[in-house]
Structure 1
């Protein structure tokens, strides 16, 4: 199926809402292929994976279309329902958010592809001598004038021919052979002309008439080397009478040709040697001064033409590079889903893409040459200070977030995230400023929906946990009544005790859920401080743990003053959770140590156990809710994984901290630091107890 067949070519199909609706199945197919790569989605059946997403896409299309229709469509409760379905499937919030991110990426990627497609007798004798003198003198003058005129004419003709040879082309490789042929034809004795151009410290043959093999072989000399290299180094003409035998001549082609006279001239431009031109003759041992003068004139004219050609070539390269760069820039601007813009130092738009133009509510061509204040007066007070800061400091500003309405939706607040960066010349001068702006309005909405979903879940857990207490209390009361009743068979008594034990464990779980809900939604676990002795609290907790863990050794070490203002019940819960955790994750034949340290205004409690260390990858999140100290733990008494979370909440509620260290050599130690007295509580007289 062709692209046109898939997407359609009608104008209305360029609209995003229509695109989503007409390509819903393909979008879901692409999304499913991406999300199936994630571990948490591999095991779900297709119906459970998709659940409400088709309806969600249809609703998104309706909301997008309100930009044109002015309607008031909304997503209502679909995202919440989807998130709760995922909760039921065992997903966490990051996984649900990951699904949404992948769905948005699939939509933008496929939509970007879619819109992509220069004595008197003595006196008489004396008089005759004067006449002869004058005649001879006139002849000399005439000869000189004629020679000068002829040479000048030759020079002018040669120069004109040189200019004509270069006329109509700026390509040196094309006109250089023509120039050399003009030089060759201007002097009868000349049978070869060669041009070497400088490339750094090397002279390389670029053109030759009469010695074409030099070009084919790529003949070159270093500056100061051989005939041409010496001319370049000395920066003056040089002549040899027998080039075929002169040791200064390095070219085997010149020797083999039997060249006699060889005359070379440096090409000078702005005080720099750019090359060497030479002419040779196999018939003459030396060139006339006229020929050499003419050659120098032609070389001078040729030098100007060569420099002009080189400059033109460089300009063409620069222009081509600039054109390629601009073409690439335009392609990137057109294809990018983000809003992109380049502005000059007066904050006038130089280039913008369709995404930014659409965001500003004006076509691309309307932006060029106009300022930010002219195009988006409502947003200019937010944007211009950031752009001027980039121009003044030359620094990049990242992740600048701002919110405002738009011309098309003045009553709807949109959110943008922008990066602004300086545009520099090669010398580092700031020429303008560029910006990449992403509309994160929908992302913000999704974040809010997910936050509300998470809050709903946590409130739901709290309500359910609270309502479960009443029937559970009834079960425990009934079971305890049965234990006290007479005449119950022993086998039934064992089952009733199991009911009591399981009910008490359920009660602890419900209590943890309620504490979790208070910690996440109620601003922390509430406490009711009163005067208490931490040593006494700790001893009482150890006694309770010994009942639940008969045969385990629990040790307490304490020396100092342990009076303070705390909530005794909550501290007992903290110590109990740490103790139970230490007992659960240590060998049955190893002790668990509680150590109390008096540090003045702060008390330190350490709970230590031996056994395997906590894996390093779990330590960073050990106090997060629904986490366990051992990955994949299935201990029958391990509960919901909220114990350490509640320990941290209780410590923080008292203004304290909790931390853990664990290693193979030293075992595992949880350390709690508690201020002796909370804020606003006056410290009493201290005494050792």
Structure 2
């Protein structure tokens, strides 16, 4: 019959929390695992108390394999949990033993006299818990050990070095994959063999000597060259006795071989690089602490300091002028050092009144390599050139803008005068000449402003909008015809001549090309303006007959001042074709010229129907 009354069971159940607290206090006093948090330290302790209560009230339970006793089940979980912690089996047994001590101590404090039957049940339950807990603990540790050993072998097989473990008799106990590849023998066939079986005799004797010295407690380093499947390779080997080896069956000697062939080659290249460094730019190398560790002769010459006075010293101490936080040397060197990115910059070095072109690079040991080149002459030449260009642009800008206002006043005045009816023919002719000169000066100012914009790098601005090129060409021709009554100007158009262009700028192109054709073409011959659609573009052409343009002049024809022949009027500064090309470029187009004795001269402007966004001078409509 199961027992239903147990004073010990009632005590455990009623004072369960107190027993848990006493367990934690005892563990913190007596065990290393006292550093664990309370929940981890208690682990399965509360469940074990509940299982003991159940055992005391129900008596011993049959140990059915499919359904172990509750105490054993709790101990199974507890053993597995402790196996994953830094706890040894002695401590595990202590935990179960202290459970009985705590229960009996509490019973004694309460004046209880446990029944013999209760004590027997309690002892049997705790013994069963110890047995099951230890069993599960050991099993879990063995599984972990096997897994760790497998992982260790996997790591060794992936290591980029040859690893060989040998017994004290010299026979291989373990050879990793890299070593097997070096020796040219499968891993499984190497086990149980010795070095003399797989390497030349001279090498085997040296390795055997290293084993003997390693067995006496010495770490031995050798460098050997072997004929491997990958060719001749040089290995740096380290041989030592394995700590803790205690018998002939244990792996007693370890050899680790690192392939240093590429490193040797790199060292040779480095020595060669040092020689090359002496031939190139000035050079110095800084370590992580900003100490100068290497300089070349050109650096000595450029800095006017010998290497003996700089090597080993901090760069900021030698040249304190560089240590200002706003110094580009300070800023860029720190950026290279901290961010590990290269930097190129140009900076003035005040102590030597010198401009330096500097290239700084991070090096593998954490420092910085710096190359210098004297850029003083180039920087000063560029500065003088910039000053000359700035003056040129300012002069053109000032003249162009300051002349525009009085010319506008002259044009307005002449227009007002010509509207009067009381002027004589002589006065009308004089005023007309004044207006013509003012208009010519206005066009010259416009060309100068366009030249200024183009040379400043912004391109000639355009504002594309829907435009009919045929109409623009006809309008320009209508405006020019009165000034050239003796020269026919024809407009020939075909296909779809619509697109998105800046009509004012296109009119400027047509006007410049037609004016050039009228000035340089043969007298009495027509000038033809062609507008035609072709392959997604619209072609604008201006043709005239006359003396062809010399072939050697064509490459410079579109430069400022470029012209095919001297201006017969003497009034042009030679900006017309330059501006034509820049306007075409701003539209994403191009200008072509063809000139010959029989066919005459033709300028062709190829315009895409829509300028590419981002073309020089492009502005959103």
Does the TM-score normalized on the shorter chain lie above 0.5? no
Question: What band does the TM-score fall into relative to the shorter chain?
Answer: 0.3 to 0.5
Please give the TM-score of this superposition, normalised by the length of structure 2: 0.43
